[in-house]
C-alpha cells in the first residue's frame, strides 16, 4: 500500500486518524498474490473502530460487514440470473426453428453467459467475496444502501470501455483530451482524491501523467471494477466476456476480451472502498478533488458536492468535475435535477473561481460490438478554491453528513416566532434548540410525515438549516 495515505484518511465513524494493523500471521507476499482474503485491518486512534483490508484496499465504511453482505447477496443474484438466462437460451435453441447463423448466435450467447459468470465469480473471489443465495430482510435504516446494492452488471460496460475497446473505440482518449483542455497551464495535481472513481482508470491516468509522488486516492464502493484495476496494476492478465444487447453481427454476440491498460504502474495510486458523499478524509488536506460522472448519479442532491469539495481542499486547490447531467429518477427529485449552468453557479457560490469549462457532445458507451451507443453533452470544468472566501463558506461540523449528523445543531437567535419559506424550513427551525442533532430533527420530521423516509431526509434537513443560516447572516 501507499504509506503516504494515512495523514489523509479519517475514521468514517468517529473522524479520528487511521493506521494499518497488518495480520501478524501473514508472511509477506507479492502484491498480485495478496488478493483473496483480509490481509489485516485499519484502526482508528480511538481504538473503537476497525476496518478490513481486502487485499490492499481498505473498506472504510461505517458498517463494513453489511457492505460485504450486500456484495455477496448481489453476487448470488447475479449467478442465479446468469444460470437462468443460459438455460432459457438452450431451451430456445431447440424449440425455435433457427437458421445456421441464428443457431450460432444463440450458442455463442449461451456459452458466453457461462464464461462471463465464471470470470466474474473468480474475480470477486480474489477479493474474498463469495455468492450467497439467501437475501435477509433489510434492516432499519438501510434504504439508501439498498438503492446502491451491488450488482456486477452495473459497471461491466465501464470496465470494457476503460480497458477493452481501444483501439477500435477509444472513448477514454477522447475524454482525457477534453479534460486536458480545461486544466490551467500551472496545474499541479498534488494529493488528490477521485470521488466515484468507477474503475479508477482516470485516477491512474492522473497519477501517471501529473503525479509527483503525492497520494492519488480512487474512491468507490463497487468492488468489481477495483479488483480488475488492482490486478492490472500488478501486471496480471485479466479477461472479461462482453455480451452486447444489440450485436452488429451474429458473429459478434459474445466476445472474450483481454483487458489492458497502456499506462505505466502508478505507485502513488491507492484504491479505497468508501462512500463518496461522506468520504473518510481529512478536511483541508487535498490539493485536487475530482468528480467524474458522479454529481448527478450518487448524491441525492448535487448541491451538497461543492461545499464538500471546498471543505476537502487546501486554499487554492483544484476542483475538477466531468460528466453529463443525467439523473436517476428513483434517487433525485425533479426539482433537484440541476442543469450544468446551475451547477456551475453553485460551484461559484461555494467559494470557487471557475478557470475553464466546456460543455460539448461526445460519444459514450458505444461498444464496437453493438449497434447501439449514445451521445451526451458532457461538462468538463476546472475550478480553484478561493482562499479569501474560506471563512464565509466554511461549513460547521454539524452540517456534514455522516458523523456530523449526531452533533448538536447550534442554537440560532432570531428563530422564535419567525416564519420561513418554504414551510419545511420553518418546520426545521422550530426544532432547533441547541441540543437536537440533524439526526434527531430528521427522525422527528419523518415520524410526523413531514419528510419521507427515503434515505435522503437528513440531506433535506441540512439544506433547510443552510437556508436558515444564510437568511440569518451565518453564511455557509
pTM of the model: 0.80
Residue-wise pLDDT for 327-341, tens only, equals 988 889 999 999 999
Residue-wise pLDDT for 217-274, tens only, equals 999 999 999 999 999 999 999 999 999 999 999 999 999 999 999 999 999 999 999 9
Q: Do 283 and 365 belong together in one domain?
A: yes
Per the domain annotation, does 132 fall within a domain? no
pLDDT band at 32 (very low <50, low <70, confident <90, very high): very low
Within the chain, how many helices (H) and strands (E) appear?
12, 13
Q: What CA–CA distance (Å, rounded) separates 353 from 356?
A: 9
Per the domain annotation, does 103 fall within a domain? yes
Per the domain annotation, does 360 fall within a domain? yes
The rounded mean pLDDT for the chain is 87
Residue 370 is part of a domain; what is its CATH number? 3.40.50.150
Residue-wise pLDDT for 411-453, tens only, equals 888 777 778 777 888 888 899 998 999 999 999 999 998 887 7
- Is pLDDT at 475 greater than 60 in this prediction? no
- Comparing 154 with 15, the larger pLDDT belongs to 15
- Is pLDDT at 40 greater than 70 in this prediction? no
Last residue of some domain: 330, 364, 389?
389
135 within 8 A of 79, measured Cβ to Cβ: no
pLDDT of residue 392: 45
Total domain count, the chain: 4
pLDDT of residue 388: 53
pLDDT of residue 324: 95
Q: Do 55 and 84 belong together in one domain?
A: no
pLDDT of residue 9: 96
Q: Do 56 and 75 belong together in one domain?
A: no
Choice among 30-39, 77-86, 148-157, 288-297 with the minimum mean pLDDT: 30-39
Per the domain annotation, does 306 fall within a domain? yes
Q: Do 188 and 300 belong together in one domain?
A: yes
Q: Do 434 and 457 belong together in one domain?
A: yes
Q: Do 247 and 369 belong together in one domain?
A: yes
pLDDT band at 131 (very low <50, low <70, confident <90, very high): very high
Non-local CB neighbours of 20 within 8 Å, separated by 6+ positions: 1, 6, 40, 41, 42, 53, 58
Kindly list the strands in the beta sheet with 352-364, ordered across the sheet, starting from the edge strand earlier in the chain. Answer: 18-22, 38-44, 50-54, 57-60, 269-274, 216-220, 192-195, 286-292, 313-323, 374-385, 352-364
Could you list the residue range(s) of the whole structural domain that residue 449 is in? 397-471
Measured between its terminal Cα atoms, the distance across the chain in Å is: 37
Q: Do 47 and 91 belong together in one domain?
A: no
Q: Do 442 and 351 belong together in one domain?
A: no
Last residue of some domain: 361, 389, 417?
389
Q: Do 209 and 278 belong together in one domain?
A: yes
- Is pLDDT at 24 greater than 60 in this prediction? no
Amino acid at each position: 500500500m501507499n504509506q503516504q495515505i494515512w495523514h489523509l484518511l479519517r475514521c468514517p465513524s468517529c473522524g479520528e486518524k487511521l493506521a494499518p494493523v497488518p495480520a501478524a500471521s501473514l508472511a509477506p507476499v507479492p502484491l498480485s498474490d495478496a488478493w483473496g482474503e483480509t490481509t489485516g485491518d485499519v484502526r482508528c486512534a480511538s481504538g473503537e473502530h476497525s476496518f478490513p483490508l481486502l487485499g490492499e484496499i481498505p473498506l472504510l465504511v461505517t458498517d463494513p460487514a453489511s457492505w460485504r453482505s450486500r456484495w455477496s447477496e448481489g453476487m448470488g443474484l447475479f449467478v442465479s440470473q446468469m444460470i437462468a438466462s443460459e438455460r432459457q437460451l438452450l431451451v430456445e435453441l431447440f424449440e425455435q426453428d433457427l437458421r445456421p447463423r441464428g443457431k450460432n448466435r444463440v450458442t455463442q450467447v449461451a456459452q458466453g453467459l457461462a464464461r462471463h459468470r465464471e470470470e466474474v465469480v473468480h474475480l470477486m473471489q480474489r477479493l474474498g467475496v463469495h455468492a450467497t443465495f439467501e437475501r435477509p430482510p433489510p434492516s432499519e435504516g438501510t434504504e439508501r444502501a439498498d438503492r446502491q446494492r451491488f450488482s456486477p452488471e452495473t459497471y461491466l460496460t465501464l470496465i470494457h470501455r476503460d480497458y477493452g475497446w481501444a483501439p477500435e473505440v477509444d472513448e477514454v482518449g477522447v475524454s482525457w483530451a477534453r479534460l486536458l483542455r480545461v486544466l490551467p497551464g500551472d496545474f499541479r495535481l498534488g494529493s488528490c482524491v477521485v470521488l466515484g472513481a468507477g474503475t479508477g482508470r482516470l485516477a491512474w491516468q492522473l497519477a501517471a501523467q501529473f503525479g509527483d509522488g503525492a497520494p492519488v486516492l480512487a474512491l468507490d464502493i463497487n468492488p468489481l471494477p477495483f479488483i480488475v484495476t488492482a490486478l492490472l496494476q500488478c501486471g496480471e492478465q485479466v479477461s472479461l466476456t462482453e455480451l452486447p444487447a444489440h450485436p452488429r453481427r451474429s458473429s459478434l454476440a459474445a466476445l472474450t476480451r483481454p483487458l489492458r491498460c497502456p499506462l505505466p504502474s502508478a505507485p502513488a495510486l491507492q484504491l479505497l472502498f468508501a462512500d463518496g458523499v461522506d468520504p473518510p478524509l481529512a478536511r483541508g488536506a487535498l490539493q485536487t478533488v475530482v468528480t467524474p460522472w458522479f454529481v448527478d448519479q450518487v448524491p441525492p442532491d448535487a448541491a451538497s458536492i461543492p461545499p464538500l469539495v471546498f471543505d476537502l481542499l487546501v486554499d487554492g486547490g483544484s476542483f475538477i468535475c466531468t460528466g453529463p447531467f443525467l439523473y436517476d429518477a428513483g434517487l433525485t427529485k425533479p426539482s433537484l435535477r440541476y442543469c450544468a449552468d446551475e451547477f456551475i453557479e453553485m460551484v461559484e457560490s461555494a467559494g470557487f473561481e471557475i478557470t475553464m469549462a466546456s460543455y460539448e457532445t461526445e460519444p459514450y458507451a458505444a461498444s464496437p460490438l453493438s449497434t447501439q451507443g449514445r451521445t451526451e453533452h458532457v461538462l468538463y470544468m476546472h475550478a480553484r478554491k478561493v482562499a479569501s472566501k474560506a471563512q464565509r463558506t466554511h461549513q460547521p461540523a454539524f452540517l456534514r453528513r455522516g458523523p456530523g449528523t449526531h452533533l448538536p445543531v447550534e442554537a440560532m437567535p432570531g428563530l422564535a416566532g419567525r416564519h420561513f419559506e418554504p414551510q419545511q424550513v420553518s418546520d426545521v427551525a422550530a426544532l432547533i434548540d441547541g441540543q437536537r442533532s440533524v439526526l434527531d430533527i430528521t427522525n422527528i420530521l419523518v415520524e410526523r410525515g413531514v419528510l419521507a423516509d427515503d434515505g435522503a431526509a437528513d440531506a433535506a434537513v441540512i439544506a433547510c438549516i443552510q437556508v436558515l443560516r444564510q437568511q440569518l447572516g451565518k453564511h455557509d
